Amino acid sequence: MPKRTAAANPAALPAVIQPFCHQPELRALMMFPTLPPDHMTFPVESDDFYPHLRRGELAVVDLHDRQPVNRELFLIGYESPRLGGVHSYAICQTRGKMAYFGVPEGCKDCTPGFTSKPRSGFEPEMSWHIAHWLPPEDPEEYKETLRAGLVRIIEGPLRTKGLASMLVGRIVGVFSPARKASSMRRIGHA
């Protein structure tokens, strides 16, 4: 039988291991005191992507990173056929999963599309969806969100090339010009 230790007492823990303490200032996205070349900012107008982005912040967008990645945040541009060109921009989360794309065999007038199960005439391909909020990961929590009427639209499915053409860039951080670069910790620097 393994030896048990009294780790429940914080004083008994080694200095490196500490009990959990909520730290709201910790972020998944980097804080940028200056804007890097080929990046732009975009205002965050809601808490739909909290805790990653908060209302009133400026998201930092990498204009060269437009390849969809599952569950990453991007700035997307929507075109208006009536007005011509990109008409509006929005923050979104891309969500991808394998599906099957094609046209049912023998159907000459059918438009190509996705199906979740293998079928004759369909090839495996990544299917993308765009969420303008962070849907819960847990299926039970998602069902509760549905019952409460808090669910929003998720667009899709889209093909990789089509989605990539709509993406302006990946959101890589939060612009925080008030923060001094010298006060920011960098990996590999003390």
Q: What is the pLDDT of residues 60-80, one digit of tens each?
A: 999 999 999 999 999 999 887
pLDDT at 101: 95
Instruction: Parse the chain into domains and list their residue ranges.
Output: 26-178
Q: Which residues of 49-76 are buried (b: 16+ CB within 10 A; e: fewer)?
A: beebbeeebbbbbbeebbebeeebbbbb
pTM confidence score:
0.73
Pairing of the two strands 39-43 and 113-115: unpaired
Q: Span 158-172, mean pLDDT?
A: 96
